[in-house]
Amino acid sequence: MRREPKISIIVPVYNAESFLNRTLGSIIEQTCEDIEAICVDDGSADRSPEILDDYAAKDKRIRVIHQQNKGMGASRNTGMDMASGEYLFFLDADDYLEPDALGMLYGYASSRRLDILVFGANQFDSDTGIDKKMPGIVNKRYLPEKEVFSAGDISDHIFGLSYGYIWNKMYWRGFIRDKGIRSQEMNVAGSQTFVHEAMAVAERIGYLDIAPIHYRMENPTGLSMHSDDEPLNPCYAWEGLQQRLRKRQVYEKLERGFVNAAADNCLAKFDVLRTREAMKALFDALKGTYLERLEIKNRDKEYFFNEDTFKRTCAILNGSFDDFVHLELIRYRSLLHKMERGDDTFPYSLVPHGSRIVIYGAGFWGRKYFAQMMRNPYCEVVAWVDRNYKDLMPQVSPVSALSDASLEFDFVLISVDNEWIAKDIGKDLRAMGIDDRKIIWQHMEER
């Protein structure tokens, strides 16, 4: 009887001949040898099938399945059907692993009996050869204090914790099998439904702060490219997820988080579409159908976590496509202007434009943020506080100023680089009655 391996690595492959040697090499060189790799050739027209077969002939842990082209989602489902490992790990055909990646992940997940383990990633730029930590892949500010958690602990942010990436998570196969979770069979956005459904119903989720996978940027032959061919896929994916969550009777308790994530993700699609026709198709679908179906329509400003999401949604509902395109161009110019500011390290992605903020901390980063906002008033600084305010400049107030009922603010920006100090400050702020959603901190490496 064949013994169950610790991990099944599922690799969907389509025209990846240029990358397979590095990808498969990183699998067979894992320090954790008790693994199997299931490579699903999705009708490749290049040398990918021969390369896969060659590796399978040399290493019995590699299994190859050849099928007609069905897309990324179908390929992952095929791999899951063949998997026998205790845990499932999904690796794209152009990405690669650190040698000790699977051993570390398995050790952490199995010792805590996790349903899902979330972790970080590096991004590798094929053009420049630069390999660096992937910013924002996990929104650490949404992580609860407990080591093992579930959606109920962060119901507003379970879908925003690590977005819909399938490859920066490892899944207990028994959990996926028993819950009957499957990937939607589409090339683009198909993994989102799988990931978010799993995160929504898992009872034991954990996070490990390492980056064991290298995600390759801009592979033009990958299964997930060519967004203009399928501009409505985010709409289909989120509608499918909505139906699954309702069927599992968890939608109501996760509704606000779902609506915000669905709106953000559908709007983000505009940022990667290249043709006017594709943008118009998405605009018309959102305006005519999906803003209502996804229950984004008729929400007030306070319901949204990001003011920009509310504004862009209103622009679609209340204006023409040409008006929307004009507003998007203004938005892009503003983003480019921020990028061109060089040493500007303010966490623009977390703080909506025009917010009223309190800067907590008057050390190096606090002074830097304050100076940046004085130079370029992206936000209104309504207060600047520090525990040691007496020894600092006159603009800095005591932390107790946050208890002043007359002080109106949208966010408190914790301006320190040390994660443990930031968590300690966060606890103090919550003890003062400040809503956790108003507390912002981001590690400098994620900027």
Strand-strand pairing, 35-42 and 62-67: parallel
Residue 185 pLDDT greater than 60, yes or no: yes
Between 1.10.1740.10, 3.40.50.720, 3.40.190.10, 3.30.200.20, what CATH number should domain 356-446 receive? 3.40.50.720
Instruction: Please tell me the pTM assigned to this model.
Output: 0.76
CA distance 9 to 33: 12
Taking residue 393's Cβ as centre, other Cβ atoms within 10 Å add up to 11
Whether pLDDT at 415 is above 80: yes
Average pLDDT over residues 252-260: 97
- 199-219: pLDDT as tens digits: 999 999 999 999 999 998 754
Whether residue 225 has pLDDT greater than 50: no
The model's pLDDT over 288-312, given as tens digits with 9 standing for 90+, comes to 999 999 999 999 999 999 888 999 9
**Mean of pLDDT over the chain:** 88
Instruction: Say whether pLDDT at 315 is over 80.
Output: yes
Q: Whole-angstrom Cα distance, residue 414 to residue 432?
A: 15
Q: What is the pLDDT of residues 138-155, one digit of tens each?
A: 888 889 989 999 999 999
Average pLDDT of 346-366?
85
Q: Which CATH architecture has domain 7-224?
A: Alpha-Beta Complex (3.90)
Query: Amino acid identity, residue 264?
Result: D
Lowest mean pLDDT among 102-116, 121-135, 155-169: 121-135
Note whether 357 and 380 are within 8 A (CB): yes
pLDDT of residue 223: 47
Distance, in Å, from the CA atom of 124 to the CA atom of 115, rounded to the nearest integer, reads 28
Checking if the pLDDT of 343 tops 70, the result is no
Domains of the chain, residue spans: 7-224, 229-339, 356-446
Q: In what order do the strands lie in the sheet with 411-414?
A: 380-385, 356-360, 411-414, 439-440
pLDDT at position 101: 97
When comparing pLDDT for 371 and 447, which is higher? 371
Instruction: Report which of residues 388 and 365 the model is more confident about.
Output: 365
AA letter at 153: D
Give burial (CB, 10 Å; 0-12/13-18/19+) of 311: middle
User: Binning pLDDT at 50, 70 and 90, where does residue 224 land?
Assistant: very low
Rounded CA-CA distance 61/170 in Å is 19
CA angle 81, 83, 85 (to 5 degrees): 145
For residue 90, the model assigns a pLDDT of: 97
For range 127-134, the mean pLDDT: 74
Sign of CA dihedral 274, 280, 283, 289: negative
Residue the block writes with tokens 């002043």: 404
Task: Return the minimum-mean-pLDDT range out of 71-85, 119-133, 383-397, 426-440.
Answer: 383-397
pLDDT at 118 > cutoff 90: yes
